[in-house]
Amino acid sequence: MDFHAALNNILNPPVLFFFLGMGVVFFKSDLRITEGVSKFLSLYLLFSIGFKGGHELFKSPFAEEHLMTLIACMFMACFVPIYSYFIFRAKLDHANSAALAGSFGSISAVTFVTAGAFLHSYGYEYQGFIVAGMALMESPAIVLAVIIDRLGKKKSNENLNEKIQWKQLLHEAFFSSSVYILIGALIVGYLSGESGWNTTKPFTEDIFKGLLTFFLLDKGIDAARQMRELKKVGFFLVGSALIIMLINVVIAILLTKIIQMPIGDALMFVVLCASASYIAVPAAMKESIPEANPSIYLTVALSIVFPINIIIGIPLYFYILKVIAGTV
């Protein structure tokens, strides 16, 4: 691995502020970020990457390679929750296994954004259709997790009369705030074209890294708080999370090779496949699978998968992709 790239990633301001946020909890500082500010930062990041993705789609015509990548995104969004459920089921009940499977099948937009900032620092860019792929990957896992949970209950003769509230579930999956703002900004960015981009660039790009840095400070606080729950989730869940991340990365890298994605697009795709949702899925699971324990699926996604990806994973995936492409 390129240790210079790894060191640069760790010394990147957003990542350093993630550690600073963790220090808030470890050193018992009275620093607090209100829920309203945290929500604004989350929506801002989704708006920015969606708008930038729409602008990139406006600039570059859709090609067969893009279609293949979107198909790969859908495949991973459906395949990951199914196979990961059976891994978690070895030790956990069906409700917690399904919620965890949904979390791994969905994606982390903040990990995606951090990877984009890493790429930009090395002079690489990704194309707008990858943002569309991210939007496609967020919802299917939520639906599949609930279906898997209901099938598990039926098999174990629990709550046989409980039906899936399809209208509520599909609405949550496809019109949640994160999906809505991401897809909406993507469409607006595409329709407004170059003039729209020039108008919003000071907001969507110039201050982007600063607000990302502040958001990762907030996520560092959240991650450190959830780390208190690591003793409860146990070695099995930590090991399972690492195994699933490894499997997803290997499959994703193979797909990038088959499709022959450029390095920038390839890294973003691998990062999407390696990440786990700690925002959209927990919100949906709270309503659709209330029996699942949030301290399990939230801790695994936020305190294990997320830090590994932003600290070690992104530069490691980047190096592997460069080796495969023969550019090292």
As given in the structure block, the two tokens for residue 4 are 């210079």
Does residue 45 carry a pLDDT above 60?
yes
The predicted pLDDT at position 162 comes to: 59
Q: Of 229, 247, 261, which Cα lies nearest the Cα of 101?
A: 247
Q: Which amino acid is at 167?
A: K
What pLDDT band is residue 76 in, cutting at 50, 70 and 90?
very high
Given a contact cutoff of 8 angstroms between Cβ atoms, the answer to whether 280 and 305 are in contact is: no
**Domain locations along the chain:** 33-325
Does residue 321 carry a pLDDT above 90?
yes
Residue whose tokens read 């939230």: 298
| Rounded Cα gap, residues 116 and 112, in angstroms | 6
The predicted pLDDT at position 57 comes to: 83
**CB under 8 Å to 265, separation ≥6 — which residues?**
69, 126, 127, 130, 256
Give CATH for domain 33-325.
1.20.1530.20
Q: Which amino acid is at 123?
A: G
**Average pLDDT of the chain, as a whole number:** 88
What pLDDT band is residue 161 in, cutting at 50, 70 and 90?
low
Enter the DSSP assignment of 125.
Answer: -
User: 219-276, pLDDT tens digit by residue?
Assistant: 999 889 888 777 777 889 999 999 999 999 999 999 999 999 999 999 999 999 999 9
